[in-house]
Amino acid sequence: MNFREEIRLAVDISLKVLREKPVKYQIEHPADMSHGDYSVNVALVVGGGRPLAEKIAENLKKSDLNKIASEISVAGPGFINISIRNEALITLIDKLLRAEYLGVSGKGKKVIVEYSSPNIAKPFTVGHLRSTIIGDAIANILESIGWTVLRDNHLGDWGTQFGKQICALKKWGDVNRLDYSVKELVDLYVKFHEEAEKDPKLEDEARSWFKKLEDGDKEARALWQKCVDWSWIEFNKIYQRLGIKFSDQFNQGRGLGESFFEDKMTDVIAELKAKKLLKTGEDGAQLVFFKDEKYPPAMILKKDGATLYATRDLATDKYRKEKYNPDLVINEVGQEQELYFKQLFEIETRLGWYKKEQRIHVAHGMYRFKEGKMSTRKGNVIWLEEVLDEAEKKATAKEIAIGALKWNDLKGSAKRDIVFDWDEILNMEGNSGPYLQYTYARCRSVIAKSNSQIDPERSRKTTDLTNPDGLVLRTLYRFDEVVTQAAEELSPSLVANFLYDLAQRYNNFYNVETILKAPVGKKEFRLWLTHATAEILKKGLYLLGIEVPSRM
């Protein structure tokens, strides 16, 4: 039980004693730490104001909460402020440093997190960076509070675009080549669209090739498999550079692409028909309509019987339910797909596969140029490989380069659009990954120079704290609360903001106070504080997928 939970329990008991009805109230951290570590607004919510707050505060002083609280007071119109004893803070922080998990709220629960999911034969652009690193961070955060996490890379390796790709290979490429790069495949894909504008019949030819692919035509299948293999070689290099891995359960860590579900769509279509959800549209396509026209109809089969994303995604989620029975399935995909996922989740709820709260779309904004959207079709994109190369030229080490890239994305809301700017995306100063990594390295350097054993027991005896000491101590203990909140909100930026705040406070402390030459007693505490800061920074950066160098 953390401090917040202990406070809530004590307040709830006090409400019962005072015969007040249970209500929803807030337990917050005051913006000014001089007002305490926690502030409770329960008296204002109940309506008793300051008189009720004083009664609750008196009860809290007589409760078990008094064992960890150094002061319980009432402020303003009825806020109850609570300060935690230094010894209790140190005990909790030490527990956090030693814990394998930061919490247990996810213990016994299973989640599938789907992220990255690039399209075969298309470039791994800077746009794919967002889903890849946000999804990975969410998976790390959920894992840290006890969830069993299955990480899936739902590769876009099926669909009408492969009819276009095969058509382009046949007309303008060399089908006997063994070493096409993704960039060359993209060039062919772009050429197809340029030529199709002149000759619309090419679109019909592409649809015919995709139909052959679905029907198992040997030539179509062989060319498709080459595109998959060529693409995966390059994708895997990107994942290794970013430190991204997926669960072995899904095709030995390669991910279950859409093609895996090719033979599983028939059962989905049969179930949709059996439950009378599939209707024939005016042009002969098979659709699912929504009550009161809540959403536009979702197409499941085209008029020629060809499948779509929705058909394959339904088959995917049915498979996940039957194979793994997850408590939660998360899709980290761009927010332009928001309507599509609302349709998909509604269908899955009506089929009885999942409850509404079991399906979540974490939507991220897009990378854009100042002039507008990036487009593979127009050949107007920034390749992620180019960004990684440029970052590694600018930084002194790979982990610093990757840290800068990831941090600059994860420090802000996932939903915001990002206008692509080379200087911003590779920022190494201020609120940046290298700044956090530098702070960690500084802590490790101080500890290495001390030649001392870190002893939390001796540190607990410290009572005389200066302002910088206290600010760092009173920031560190909040780590597990922040991670729990980040897990609940599926928001890695909460962890990033906490870590930046901690780094700033530690660096201020480092610049103001002596550590190695501090008096006996204070030296031990400050070394422990430095050790704790390093470990919390390391744990937090790990959750964001960022490595920490021991020296910089």
Question: Cα–Cα distances in Å, from 103 out to 224, 290, 305, 324, 493?
Answer: 45, 40, 49, 23, 19
pLDDT tens, residue order, the chain (552 aa): 789 999 999 999 999 999 999 999 999 999 888 899 999 999 999 999 999 999 999 999 999 999 999 999 999 999 999 999 998 999 999 999 988 777 777 889 999 999 999 999 987 888 789 999 999 999 999 999 999 999 999 999 988 899 999 999 999 999 888 889 999 999 999 999 999 999 999 999 999 999 899 889 999 999 999 999 999 999 999 999 999 999 999 999 999 999 999 899 999 999 999 999 999 988 899 999 999 889 999 999 988 887 888 999 999 999 999 999 999 999 999 999 999 999 999 999 999 999 999 999 999 998 877 665 655 555 567 788 888 888 888 777 889 999 999 999 999 999 998 887 777 777 888 899 999 999 999 999 999 999 877 877 776 666 666 678 889 999 999 999 999 999 999 999 999 999 999 999 999 999 999 999 988 888 889 999 999 999 999 999 999 999 998 777
Residue 293: count of CB within 10 angstroms of its CB: 8
319 three-class SS: helix
Domains of the chain: 3-84 (3.30.1360.70), 110-372 (3.40.50.620), 433-543 (1.10.730.10)
Q: Which tokens belong to 455?
A: 């002893």
Q: Is the distance from CB of 7 to CB of 27 less than 8 angstroms?
A: yes
Amino acid making up residue 159: G
pLDDT at 375: 57
Amino acid making up residue 120: I
List the one residue out of 29, 38, 36, 44 whose CA is nearest residue 76. 44
112 three-class SS: strand
pLDDT at 373: 61
Q: Is the distance from CB of 439 to CB of 536 less than 8 angstroms?
A: no
pLDDT at 379: 54
Please state whether the predicted TM-score (pTM) of the whole model is above 0.75.
yes
CA 362/CA 113 separation, integer angstroms: 10
Task: Give 73's DSSP letter.
Answer: E
CA 131/CA 389 separation, integer angstroms: 20
CA 485/CA 482 separation, integer angstroms: 5
Buried b or exposed e, range 166-183, using 16+ CB within 10 angstroms: bbbbeeebeeeeeebebe
Cα 371 from chain centroid (whole Å): 28
**Using only C-alpha atoms, what is the Rg of the chain?**
28
Q: Which tokens belong to 367?
A: 């990378």
List the one residue out of 353, 334, 338, 339 whose CA is nearest residue 294. 339
CA 133/CA 403 separation, integer angstroms: 11
pLDDT at 370: 66
239 three-class SS: helix
List the one residue out of 25, 22, 2 whose CA is nearest residue 12. 22
pLDDT at 298: 96
Question: Cα–Cα distances in Å, from 186 out to 199, 322, 383?
Answer: 20, 37, 11
pLDDT at 429: 84
300 three-class SS: strand
CA 327/CA 344 separation, integer angstroms: 17
Question: Cα–Cα distances in Å, from 121 out to 168, 188, 195?
Answer: 12, 10, 19
Burial (Cβ within 10 Å: 0-12, 13-18, ≥19) of residue 319: middle
